[in-house]
């Protein structure tokens, strides 16, 4: 018994030391990257695995079209980064192989295809999620996900904390005995402060008068309690922004309540709750295949589809029917982030026209609809339509 407890204590001590070091690093953070003075801005395109390379290819072609002038005059460089596949990661037993990480760190922003994370019972050994590792390595603390459903009055912007919470030590839990397993959840003052502040800042800058904080602070008292207490403190600095707080369980219900839906605007949550409600919101928007997301840090930023590598689609030979809208939306978010706001808006409009309004071709995920390639071609045609904006306005 004593030996078991000592082993668990050693494990816990190591975790506490690592986290205290992380807090020290957080306290000495650098400033935000200024893309306007960078030349070239290096956009890394990381294919991922499963349906990743198939959908990411279409986003690259769209970048090549929209950023052709910037690529020609050296303001932008597109750089494809190979090797972030489950096969390669398993070969070296690393969430992100060293050489791939090195290449990633040479870029300023990344467009990343989905990557498989092995789970119990899979054919793959247990390695950490490439996303969790990338968020930590590049300190991408904010996962920002827009969700818009105009006919339901929904215009949500989610700020999910990306570097701590229930996931940061997700692979570092312990099976203390055969019968007892313990996982760890971490919230730091600095980590909670920067994400909550980002959400309040966003609300203020965009004249949005509402921030909703999501926790389970009534039960998970130390970590969620800290998150909520920090929100309360920060809210005082933004008297012009109203705020409220909800528990994750009732929040998941209220997001599908027509009487409530349109009242939520900016939502901020720790990692796991943010993961849950953003997938729910993506479903309300039209399925995970349609949602893009931004992972923002001060130095790096990574943009990706909300969904995973869809192994079932691959196994069933349906990859060519995967919807590329999610990664194309992520590409729009990326362009917006690095300052090409007009081009990003144009892409959003083309996506809106093709997927929501005009629907000349439709994806169903199967051979009952068109392929992702046909859909991407449709978006490209739409982008080259000189009347794109007028057309889009006519649908509003
Ligand atoms: P998933 O999102 O990969 O797929 C679930 C289902 O959603 C699919 O079977 C498919 O029906 C549908 N779907 C997803 N993307 C689609 C698209 N573009 N077009 C049409 N339909 C689409 O979820 P999962 O099966 O839980 O996860 C598969 C793997 O992906 C796991 O290893 C998981 O860990 C990983 N994952 C990665 C990321 C990421 O890299 N950001 C995110 C989530 C999951």
Asked if the model's pLDDT at residue 135 lies above 90, the reply is no
CA of 265 from ligand 1 middle (Å) equals 26
Is 191 near ligand 1, meaning CB less than 6 Å away? Answer: no
Model-level pTM greater than 0.75? yes
**Per-domain residue ranges for the chain?**
31-140+297-396, 145-287
Instruction: Return the pLDDT at 290.
Output: 66
Instruction: Return the pLDDT at 356.
Output: 85
Average pLDDT, the chain: 93
> How many CB atoms are closer than 10 A to CB 339?
15
Beta-bridge mates of residue 186: 165
For 145-287, CATH number? 3.40.718.10
The per-residue b/e assignment along 69-85, b for 16 or more CB within 10 angstroms, e otherwise, is ebbeeebbbbeebebbb
Cα four-point dihedral sign 95, 97, 100, 105: positive
CA of 305 from ligand 1 middle (Å) equals 9
The percent of residues in the chain predicted with pLDDT above 70, rounded, is 99
- pLDDT grade for 242, boundaries at 50, 70 and 90: very high
CATH superfamily assigned to domain 31-140+297-396:
Isopropylmalate Dehydrogenase (3.40.718.10)
Q: Residue with the nearest Cα to atom 42 of ligand 1?
A: 308
Q: Residue with the nearest Cα to atom 4 of ligand 1?
A: 310
Q: Residue with the nearest Cα to atom 27 of ligand 1?
A: 308
Work out whether strand 266-269 and strand 154-161 pair parallel, antiparallel, or are unpaired: parallel
Asked if the model's pLDDT at residue 150 lies above 80, the reply is no
**What is the CA angle 372-308-117, rounded to 5?**
140
| Same fold for the pair 31-140+297-396 and 145-287 | yes
Is 288 near ligand 1, meaning CB less than 6 Å away? Answer: yes
The percent of residues in the chain predicted with pLDDT above 90, rounded, is 78
Convert the pLDDT of each residue in 1-14 to its tens digit. Answer: 899 999 999 999 99
Mark residue 116 as left, alpha or beta (left: phi above 0; alpha: psi -120 to 50; beta: remaining): beta
Q: Are 285 and 148 spatial neighbours (Cβ–Cβ below 8 Å)?
A: yes
Convert the pLDDT of each residue in 170-208 to its tens digit. Answer: 889 999 999 999 999 999 999 999 999 989 988 887 789
Average pLDDT of 271-297? 85
- Angstrom distance (rounded) from CA 41 to CA 62: 17
Is 241 near ligand 1, meaning CB less than 6 Å away? Answer: no
CA of 391 from ligand 1 middle (Å) equals 33
Atom of ligand 1 nearest to the CA of 312: 9
> How many CB atoms are closer than 10 A to CB 224?
25
Atom of ligand 1 nearest to the CA of 118: 32
Tokens read off for 59: 């986003």
> How many CB atoms are closer than 10 A to CB 232?
13
- Angstrom distance (rounded) from CA 214 to CA 224: 9
> How many CB atoms are closer than 10 A to CB 2?
6
Convert the pLDDT of each residue in 361-392 to its tens digit. Answer: 999 999 999 999 999 999 999 999 999 999 99
What does residue 175 show for φ and ψ, rounded to 5 degrees? Answer: -90, 95
Could you write out the DSSP letters of every residue in 268-308?
EE-HHHHHHHHHHHHHHHT-GGG-EEEEE-SS-EEEEESS-
Nearest CA among 167, 102, 92, 174 for reference residue 131: 167
Instruction: Return the pLDDT at 288.
Output: 63
Tokens read off for 303: 């943009």
Task: Write the CB contacts of 283 (distance below 8 Å, at least 6 apart in sequence).
Answer: none
Convert the pLDDT of each residue in 80-124 to its tens digit. Answer: 999 999 999 999 999 999 999 999 999 999 999 999 999 888 888
């Amino acid at each position: 018994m004593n030996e078991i407890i000592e082993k668990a204590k050693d494990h816990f001590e190591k975790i506490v030391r690592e986290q205290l070091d992380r807090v020290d690093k957080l306290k000495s953070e650098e400033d935000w990257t200024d893309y306007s003075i960078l030349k070239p801005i290096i956009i890394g395109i990381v294919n991922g695995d499963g349906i990743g390379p198939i959908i990411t290819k279409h986003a690259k072609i769209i970048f090549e079209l929209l950023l052709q002038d910037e690529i020609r005059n050296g303001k932008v460089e597109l750089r494809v980064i190979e090797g972030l596949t489950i096969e390669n990661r398993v070969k070296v037993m690393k969430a992100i192989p060293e050489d791939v990480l090195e290449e990633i760190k040479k870029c300023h922003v990344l467009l990343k295809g989905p990557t498989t994370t092995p789970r119990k019972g899979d054919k793959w050994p247990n390695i950490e999620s490439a996303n969790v590792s990338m968020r930590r390595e590049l300190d991408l603390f904010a996962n920002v996900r827009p969700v818009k459903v105009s006919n339901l009055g929904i215009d949500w912007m989610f700020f999910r904390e990306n570097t701590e919470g229930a996931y940061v030590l997700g692979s570092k839990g312990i099976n203390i005995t055969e019968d007892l397993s313990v996982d760890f959840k971490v919230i730091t003052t600095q980590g909670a402060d920067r994400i909550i502040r980002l959400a309040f800042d966003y609300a203020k800058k965009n004249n949005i008068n509402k921030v909703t904080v999501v926790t389970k602070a009534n039960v998970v008292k130390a970590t969620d309690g800290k998150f909520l207490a920090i929100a309360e403190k920060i809210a005082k600095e933004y008297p012009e922004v109203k705020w409220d707080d909800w528990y994750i369980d009732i929040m998941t219900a209220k997001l599908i309540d027509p009487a409530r839906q349109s009242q939520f605007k900016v939502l901020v949550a720790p990692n796991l709750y943010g993961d849950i409600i953003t997938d729910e919101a993506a479903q309300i928007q039209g399925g995970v295949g349609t949602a893009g997301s931004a992972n923002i840090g001060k130095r790096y930023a990574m943009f990706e589809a909300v969904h995973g590598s869809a192994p079932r689609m691959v196994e069933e030979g349906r990859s060519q029917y995967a919807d590329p809208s999610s990664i194309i939306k992520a590409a729009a978010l990326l362009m917006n982030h690095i300052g090409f706001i007009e081009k990003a808006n144009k892409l959003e409009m083309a996506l809106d026209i093709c997927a929501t309004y005009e629907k000349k071709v439709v994806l169903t995920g199967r051979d009952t609809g068109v392929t992702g390639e046909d859909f991407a071609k449709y978006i490209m045609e739409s982008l080259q339509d000189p009347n794109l904006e007028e057309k889009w306005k006519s649908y509003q």
